[in-house]
A and B are shown apart, each in its own frame.
Chain A
């Protein structure tokens, strides 16, 4: 019980201190709106393209929302040494890091609903499997957050975290099948696509929104869950070896 009091308070503290701050709320709203506008206008095929573009816009909104904030908050707290307070608390490191990432996961899920709400007004989404969309959003948010955590614990400066994030994020926009299928990529780039968890999350969304997925649903969820476990494990290992010297 005591551990969960700590867990809940870390989550709520982070929400208040970081995620619910006006600049971050506006970032969370404006960023998905900008992506949505940019891709719909660029597609040139009018409102018919909404269902095909929506999975990519959702995924990209979650990816940028989670990785940007988590990389900053964890790296900033480490730099200012307030993270030591958490390391000194009598709670297991795994639970502590789950608490630190829960706020970002929630932020990512909320981000995902900005383009969804917009799309509801623009297109007929009656065929969409909403349960799968919600679950996919959650899994994308978890895997992106853990990717952000992995980045945050691998660097020591906030600017390094941002730079390192972009090293992953920008290739992911093109390699993960968000706006065009992986089969349209040059053959030598295709294997890279399967190294990113977002590929599988986007595939679930494509299947749930316009019934065009490559892999079976169960396989996609299993692979993305595997990525989550791997990234979290690597992050904890990095904290143990780099931060508790």
Chain B
């Protein structure tokens, strides 16, 4: 029996009830004839963990670059913390922290010196920056490596120190660009915990990622961007709601026989059957799916069933629906970019 998942908790305040810290209106950026970002509008609210999702090359980094002052929009407008930064992003740079998609600290400086230097860029005095650097090194578990040069850090350590450098001046808004891409599973998990901790502490976070599970786990609201255009923006609960109404199970088998699908479809006309891969059958329905008769019918055909499990509706399914991008393409990107999958 497939049990529907819980509906969103109405007691949790919607992010829109809070003050908008980032307001983007019709932002557009072109590189030659290619529209990297086109007519993008959204708001990020105070204390929110906002996910900006899309495949590689969708326009995520270009959007961050425009919002942080590393790129100029061709048209549109953006306001950060009430300050119109479209023409002069410097006006809000003291309010934001940026963790780029590459760990770009200074390889010849130690972890401690890197943090102190980054703090000095925000005008922090010597004592203040040394204290803050020490506390961040402790918070990120890098105390033992504080005197080692950044250049010899492992990829996960580099990522952690880069995040620490992004929050050294305690920014109101933190931009995180692909924070877990290309690092091992354990480090990615630690970084996700750190991000959740920063969010709990009240930092507004703008997170870009192409790991859909990561965004689902961390974010309150998510915007999907595909080929420079926003295709959907909503809370995770609202995004999931339509697909939660459709039940799905996955049946694993060791062998198969001719026309198994035809026989299943004839016996259960209200269900949709799909061969996901060799040895896996996906069953979907608007109604409750009772597993026992299905398994019995399959076994009666001489096919051995090894597992039958309910599939939890995921943002990946939502993304495929709204973007039309095949999951396979996203998976290939994940494989290419390393092991930091959620």
Contacts and interface: CB of A to CB of B under 8 A. Distances in A.
Interface of A: 1-3, 5-6, 8-10, 13, 16-17, 80-82, 84-92, 244-245
A80 B104 contact: yes
B102 interface: yes
Contact of A92 (B31, B90, B98, B121): B90
A2 B108 contact: no
Interface in B151-188: 165
A9 B109 CA distance: 13
Contacts of A92: 90
A6 B72 contact: no
Majority secondary structure of chain A interface residues (helix, strand, loop or mixed): helix
Contacts of B105: 82, 85
Nearest to B162: A85
Interface core residue of B31, B69, B93, B121 (most chain A CB under 10 Å):
B121
Interface residues of B, number: 28
B120 interface: yes
Contact of A81 (B31, B96, B102, B117): B102
Contact of A3 (B108, B123, B124, B165): B123
Most buried by A among B31, B106, B123: B123
A10 B108 CA distance: 14
Contact of B120 (A1, A9, A82): A9
Contact of B93 (A13, A80, A90): A90
A82 B69 contact: no
8 contacts: A2-B123, A81-B102, A82-B104, A85-B104, A87-B69, A89-B93, A90-B93, A90-B121
Q: Considering residues A10, A81, A88, A244, which has the most beta carbons from chain B within 10 angstroms of its beta carbon?
A: A88
B122 A6 contact: yes
A84 B104 contact: yes
A245 B61 CA distance: 13
Contact of B121 (A1, A9, A17): A9
Contacts of B125: 5
B118 interface: yes
Interface string B38-78: 00000000000000000000000000000011111000000
Given A13-B106, A13-B109, A244-B69, A91 B121 contact: yes
Contacts of A245: 31, 71-72
B117 A9 contact: yes
Majority secondary structure, B binding face: loop
Contacts of A87: 69-70
B104 A86 contact: no
A6 B120 contact: yes
A5 B123 contact: yes
A85 B121 contact: yes
Nearest to A245: B71
A13 B117 CA distance: 8
B94 interface: yes
Given A85-B165, A86-B121, A87-B69, 20 more contacts: A5-B123, A6-B120, A13-B106, A13-B117, A80-B104, A84-B100, A84-B104, A85-B121, A87-B70, A88-B68, A89-B93, A89-B122, A90-B90, A90-B94, A90-B121, A91-B121, A92-B90, A244-B70, A244-B72, A245-B31
Interface string B86-99: 00001001101010
Contacts of B68: 88
A82 B70 contact: no
Contacts of B70: 84, 87-88, 244
A245 B74 CA distance: 10
B106 A17 contact: yes
B50 to A, nearest CB: 19
A17 B71 contact: no
A6 B121 contact: yes
From A2, A89, A91, residue with most partner B Cβ within 10 Å? A89
Nearest to A5: B123
A88 B117 contact: no
A89 B121 contact: yes
